Amino acid sequence: MKFVWQETLRQTCAMISYWCDQSAAGIPNVQRDARTVTMNVLASTVFRETYDFVGSANLKVSNLSTAESFRDALLLVHHYIIHLMVIPYRYLLGPWVPGKLSKIGFAAFNLEQIMTKVVAEEKAAIEDGKPGSGGLITSLVRTIDHISKRGALTLKEMLGNIFLINFAGLDTTANVLAFMIIRIAGEPDIQDWLYEEITTLTEGRPVQDWEYELFPKFKRCYAVFLETLRLYAPVTGLPKMTGRGMQAIQIGEQLVTIPPGTDVFPMLLGVQTDPQHWDDPFVWKPKRWIVCAEGSAEVDSEALLVPRKGTFFPWAEGPQGCVGKKVSQVESVAVLAALLATNRMHIKNKPGETEDGIRKRVEYCCDDNNSNVLLQMNNPTQIELECVETSKD
């Protein structure tokens, strides 16, 4: 996780510098920039391929080439995933296929080629007793290779797993980051509260010098992430099936039994906003996650709330829960802490608009969302953001 921490800090610093340059006109697209940071962190964590951050104004899906780059191929495949679910990519490679569709086909084809090449290199390294690239892919190939020797997994399945990790890790974290950044921009008090934690813990050291051991100490930053996940969990419900036996669940006064093999769909956003478990359930209140030692207002004496089991599970739970949970935690805390260490986020207000008016507009923007694949804002660019250096604020 040290690598995720360091790479996220590096990417965030580059994003901040781009945002500061763009601020006079308003940051063009926070959601896309958050996605670029997440994409670059994933690429370097999984494949040890490093990319420089490119801001949304200069990174257009239509300009991406389908050639060599893993990042560009993955971005294209990701962007057109619904097309690829309907039409397998091998049908999009023929000379008669129109330009745009053919580009999608080649992106998917190249992605498979790149992943196959990386897997082959990692396998060769294992056979030669070498350490491999050291990314997540090395551990994955070693584990999968070990299992495959028992005949469990084919190359296709291995590639499927690698793709799934990249796919599942991209917009989940990126979408939460976008919600989080827009929400804090509307709450100057929360930014002050976070800044207090950041300066206390880092003693004003430059972001590049922050060691990974700081991560678990950033409880307020983590609280902002948790509160954002409570209201805007990217996966809003979990398609599941009961096992071989009857399952019993208590609903209010009633004990309900569910037969074996029944599809169930626990709505996690419903549970996470249930007034039985959460006060002011629809209000974004990061401070609800911080519990203080009696009578103390010191940053170091704060602890995180542990919600009652079954009342908060954005990564699901149990053996099938999210394998990227820790990556998303480290990444989100790093982005927030690095951003607010040196900068403040502002919302460009409309003529005559009050602080309360801005807060309402932010709430509206975040609540105007869809969960077509994952929960995301319909129109994040309706809020114009500025990123200003703290010293110039």
Binding region for ligand HEM (CB under 6 A): 164-165, 168-169, 172-173, 176, 233-235, 238, 314-316, 320-324, 327-328
Query: Closest Cα to residue 36, out of 57, 22, 21, 20?
Result: 57
CB of 384 vs ligand HEM, minimal distance in Å: 25
The residue whose Cβ lies closest to ligand HEM is 324
CB of 160 vs ligand HEM, minimal distance in Å: 10
DSSP 366: H
Cα torsion 176, 181, 185, 191: sign: positive
The structure tokens listed for 91 are 């049908």
Phi, psi at residue 256, to the nearest 5°? -105, 135
CB of 370 vs ligand HEM, minimal distance in Å: 17
Distance (Å, rounded) from C-alpha 201 to C-alpha 139? 33
101 vs 167, which CB is nearer to ligand HEM? 167
171 vs 197, which CB is nearer to ligand HEM? 171
DSSP 23: G
The structure tokens listed for 294 are 């009696």
Residue 87 CB coordination number (10 Å): 15
Range 216-240 burial, b when 16+ CB lie within 10 A, else e = ebbbbbbbbbbbbbbbbbbbbeeee
Q: Please check if 322 is assigned to a binding site.
A: yes
CB of 222 vs ligand HEM, minimal distance in Å: 12
1 vs 120, which CB is nearer to ligand HEM? 1
| Distance spanning both ends of the chain, measured CA to CA | 33
CB of 278 vs ligand HEM, minimal distance in Å: 18
CB of 268 vs ligand HEM, minimal distance in Å: 7
169 vs 286, which CB is nearer to ligand HEM? 169
CA distances from 99 to 62, 106, 142, 177, 326 (A): 11, 10, 39, 34, 40
CB of 321 vs ligand HEM, minimal distance in Å: 5
DSSP 267: B
The structure tokens listed for 367 are 């609540």
262 vs 349, which CB is nearer to ligand HEM? 262
Task: List all residues 6 or more positions away from 7 whose beta carbon is below 8 Å from its beta carbon.
Answer: 40, 41, 44, 45, 50
CA distances from 43 to 23, 47, 158, 161, 207 (A): 28, 5, 17, 15, 21
CB of 56 vs ligand HEM, minimal distance in Å: 20
Strand partners, 345: 387
94 vs 321, which CB is nearer to ligand HEM? 321
304 vs 322, which CB is nearer to ligand HEM? 322
Cβ atoms 104, 80 nearer than 8 A? yes
Distance (Å, rounded) from C-alpha 316 to C-alpha 244? 21
238 vs 269, which CB is nearer to ligand HEM? 238
Q: Return binding residues for heme.
A: 322
Q: Return binding residues.
A: 322
